[in-house]
Chain A
Amino acid sequence: MESLLIQRGRVIDPASGVDAQMDVLLRGGRVVDVAPAGKLRGQAKQTVNVRGAIVAPGLIDLHVHLREPGQLHKETIASGTGAAAPGGFTSVCVMPNTLPVNDSAEITRWMQAPQRSAIVNVFPIAAATVGSAGEKLTNFAALKKAGAVAVSDDGKPILDDRLMRTALQAAARLKMTVVQHAEDTRVTAGCSMNYGATSFRLGVHGMPNSAESSVVERDIALARATKGHVHVAHLSTREALEAVRAAKKAKLRVTAEVTPHHFTLIDENVGEFNAHYKMNPPLRSVADRDALIEGIIDGTIDAIATDHAPHAFHEKQVEFERAAFGITGLETALPIVLTVLHHHFKLPLWRIIELLSVNPAKIFGLTGRGTLAKGSHADITIFDPKKKWTFDASQSMSKSKNTPFDGWNFTGRAVVTIVGGNVVWEA
C-alpha cells in the first residue's frame, strides 16, 4: 500500500487543537498517524521533507466555476483542478452554471468521473431548480446520492419567497445546504459595477448594496422559519454582513463566505474601465471592504472562497458594459489570505486554516476533511507563509488569465499539495 511520510513540518490542525513540530504518516489515502518529529521514521516508502513549512488539512474552495460541461474554451475540470493544486486547494466545490446546467444526478456523476482527469477532489454543487430557471425544484435526494454537496442557482438567485422556503425545507430534510448568490436582479439589471462615486463618474449603471442585503435579510428570515441552512455566497456588503452577524447571535443556521478580491480591492480600482475588475458581486466601497475584514477577524465570516470564474480574452476585451463578469482566483487565494490577513492584519495561521479548510468542510458536511485526525482523508496542504514571490498570470495553470492580481507581490504560498495521499503538486 502506498505510504508517505511528511517530515519536519509544523502541523497546524485546528480541529484537533494541534500546533507543533510533528510528522504525518499517510497510507491508503488516509492519515494514519501524527506524531512528534522523528517518531515515525522508516514507516513509509516515500518521504517529503518540508523544512519548517506549515502542514495543514487540505484547503477546500466552496465556490468554483469549472465551465465543464459546455464552455471548454474557458476552463475544463482538468485545467481548473490543475490550477487548484498549485493554489493549495485539495478540494473544489463546483457551481452548476455549466452548459447544460448541472441539475441532474447524471451530470453530477459525470463531473466526478475519472475521465474528467481532475487532480483534486471535485464536489458538485447541483442546481436548486431545474435549469436554474427558478421555477421547479430539482430532486435534492437524487442529487445528494450522486455526490452533490449542496444546491444553488448561483448567478440566478432564487428571488421567489415560496420557492426559497420550499428549497430550504427540502434541503433541511436531507441535511443539505442551500447556497444563495444574494442579488435582487430586478434592481441590478443593466448594471456593471458597484453603485457609487466611481460608477457615476464612469457613467455606468451601478448595483446598490441593498440589492444584496435585501436578499440576505429575506433568506435569514426564511432560515429562521424553516430551520434550514442558508449559506451566503461571496458576501460583499456591510449591510449583509450585519444581517449575518445578527443571525448568528440568534443561533440561526446561516453561514457566509467572502472572496479574496472583496476584502482586497474596491470599486475605484476599476480605474478607466478595466474589465479585470468586473465581477458579480462587484467590488464595493472602502467601508464595505473594511467591514468584511472586520467580519473575517471577528468570526462572522465562516469561509474564504474564490468564486474562480474563468473567461477567455475575447470575453473581457470588449466594451466594459458588455464584458463578462468574473475573475480567476484559485492560484491567488491562499497567497492573498496570507499576505493580507496573516501578515498585514495579524490573523493567526490556525484561523486562516479554519477559514480555508475546517469551516468549509463543516459548511458542506464533508466528513473526514478539514482535519488531520487519524483516519481522515489524506488531503494535505503544505504552505510556506514567508515565501516571497510574484504572481505571473501568463504562467497560470488555468485556461483563462482574467485576473486583477497579475504582477502582484505576495508573501506566502503552497509548496506541496497532497490529495488522497498522492503529491499532486510541488513548488
Chain B
Amino acid sequence: MKPQLGSLLSINQLTTEQIEAILALARRMDPDRPSQLLHGKRVVLLFYEASTRTRTSFEFAAKALGAVTTLVTATSSSIEKGESLIDTGWTVESIGADVIVMRHPNSGSAHLLARYMTVPIINAGDGMHQHPSQGLLDALTILNHKKELRGLRVVIVGDVYHSRVARSNAELLSRFGAEVVFCGPRDFVPEIAATLAPGVVVNHDLNAALQGADVVMALRVQKERLAGRHHSVEDYIAHYQVTPQRMKLAKPDAILMHPGPVIRGMELTSEVADGPQSCIHEQVRNGVKTRMAILAMVLGAAH
C-alpha cells in the first residue's frame, strides 16, 4: 500500500498507516548519502517567521534528495501592508514551485493556503497550532530508544498553551496509545489542554508528573511570556526547570528531549541538556531524515 499524502498540514489529518509509512521511510533516509530522488523538483520555502533551524533542516533535506530550493521570506510588516497570503501562494505556484514549505505566525494559515493551491503544502509551523514535521521527528527519536509508543508516559513540560510542538506531539503520541502529561504553570497549561486528545492529562506538579516517565520533553519558555503573569522567571525555574535531581524521578532509562532552541538555565540545566539521557542532537539529525521522507512522500517519489 502506498498512502497518498497530498499536503501535510497537521498530525490529525494523517492516518495511522501514513504516520508509520513516513517514519519507516525516514529511517531509510541518509542525509550523508545524497540521492537524486527529487531531481528537478522545486521546493519553495515560504517563511513569514524567522526560523533558522526548521528552514535549514528542510533545505538540507530537499538538497540531499537532489531538489532545488528557493527561500521566500516576508517580515510581519509586509504581511500587514502587502498582498494576501493566497496571492503570494499563487505567485509562488505560478513561478513553478512543486511544493511549498511554509512557516507562518497565524494558526490555520497552512490550511488556508492548501485550500487554494494545487501544489502540496507542508506546514512548517503555523502559529500555536501545528508543527507536524516536529511531531514526526520526535516520534522517530523516541522509537530509536523505546520499542513502541504504546504505554509510554511522556511528560511535556513548559509553555504548552503557546506551543505548536506540544499539540503535534500530543496528537501523535495519543494516536499510538501513549500517555501524555502536560505540565507547567496554569497560564501555560490550562485545564482545557486535557481535551486535546485521548490519554492527555494535565498536571501542574512537575515532581509528581515525572514519576515513572519514559520521556521528558521540555518546551521553550519565552521570558516575555512570563512577564506580567503570575509566575516570575525564578518561580518557573524553581518549579518547572528540568534538573538532574528531577530527572531522577523519571524512569532510569528515560530520555530527555527539547525541540530547540534551548535556553540553558531556563527550561533545563546544562547538565541535563548535555547529559547521557539527552537526545537533543539526535532530534536535530532525525529532523533532516524525517523531512526528507516528508518531501519524498508529498512529491509522490517514495517507493
Bound-state Cα–Cα, A189 to B231, Å: 21
Bound-state Cα–Cα, A319 to B88, Å: 13
Q: How far is the CB of B110 from chain A (nearest CB, A)?
A: 9
Question: What are the residues of chain A within 8 A of B196 when measuring CB–CB?
Answer: 197, 200-201
Interface residues of A in 317-361 (CB under 8 A from B): 317-322
Size of A's binding interface in residues, CB under 8 A: 17
Residues of A within 8 A of B (CB): 195-197, 200-204, 272-273, 314, 317-322
**Contact with B128, one of A204, A318, A322 (Cβ below 8 angstroms):** A204
Does any Cβ of A come within 8 Å of B84's Cβ?
yes
Does any Cβ of A come within 8 Å of B55's Cβ?
no
Interface segment out of the listed B19-27, B100-108, B133-141, B204-212: B100-108
Residues of B within 8 A of A (CB): 9, 84-86, 104, 106-109, 111-112, 116, 126-130, 161, 164, 167, 190, 192-193, 195-196
Contact B195 A321 (CB under 8 A): no
Question: What are the residues of chain A within 8 A of B193 when measuring CB–CB?
Answer: 200
Bound-state Cα–Cα, A363 to B177, Å: 56
**Known interface pairs A197-B192, A273-B108; 16 further A-B residue pairs with C-beta atoms within 8 A, sorted by A's residue number:** A197-B195, A197-B196, A200-B192, A201-B195, A201-B196, A202-B108, A203-B126, A203-B130, A272-B111, A273-B112, A314-B84, A318-B85, A319-B112, A320-B107, A321-B107, A322-B106
Q: For residue B130, which residue of chain A has the nearest CB?
A: A203
Contact A204 B85 (CB under 8 A): no
Q: How far is the CB of A28 from chain B (nearest CB, A)?
A: 53
Bound-state Cα–Cα, A314 to B86, Å: 10
Q: For residue A272, which residue of chain B has the nearest CB?
A: B111
6 A-B contacts (beta carbon < 8 Å): A204-B107, A272-B108, A273-B111, A317-B86, A317-B116, A320-B106
Contact A318 B84 (CB under 8 A): yes
**Contact with A203, one of B9, B107, B116, B190 (Cβ below 8 angstroms):** B107
Q: How far is the CB of B145 from chain A (nearest CB, A)?
A: 29
Question: What are the residues of chain A within 8 A of B85 when measuring CB–CB?
Answer: 318-319
Question: What are the residues of chain A within 8 A of B104 when measuring CB–CB?
Answer: 319
Q: For residue B171, which residue of chain A has the nearest CB?
A: A201
**Contact with B106, one of A272, A314, A319 (Cβ below 8 angstroms):** A319
Q: For residue A321, which residue of chain B has the nearest CB?
A: B106
Q: For residue B192, which residue of chain A has the nearest CB?
A: A200
Bound-state Cα–Cα, A330 to B161, Å: 38
Contact B107 A202 (CB under 8 A): yes
Q: How far is the CB of A292 from chain B (nearest CB, A)?
A: 22
Q: How far is the CB of A199 from chain B (nearest CB, A)?
A: 8
Bound-state Cα–Cα, A321 to B48, Å: 15
Contact A319 B192 (CB under 8 A): no
Question: What are the residues of chain A within 8 A of B9 when measuring CB–CB?
Answer: 272
Bound-state Cα–Cα, A320 to B106, Å: 8
Q: How far is the CB of A232 from chain B (nearest CB, A)?
A: 26
8 interchain residue pairs of minimum CB distance? A203-B128, A273-B108, A203-B129, A319-B106, A197-B195, A320-B108, A203-B107, A200-B192
- CB within 8 Å for A203 and B164 given contacts A273-B108, A321-B106: yes
Question: What are the residues of chain B within 8 A of A204 when measuring CB–CB?
Answer: 107-108, 127-129
Contact A319 B108 (CB under 8 A): yes
Bound-state Cα–Cα, A197 to B192, Å: 6
Bound-state Cα–Cα, A195 to B190, Å: 11
Contact A203 B167 (CB under 8 A): yes
Q: How far is the CB of A343 from chain B (nearest CB, A)?
A: 33
- CB within 8 Å for A203 and B127 given contacts A197-B192, A314-B84, A318-B85: yes
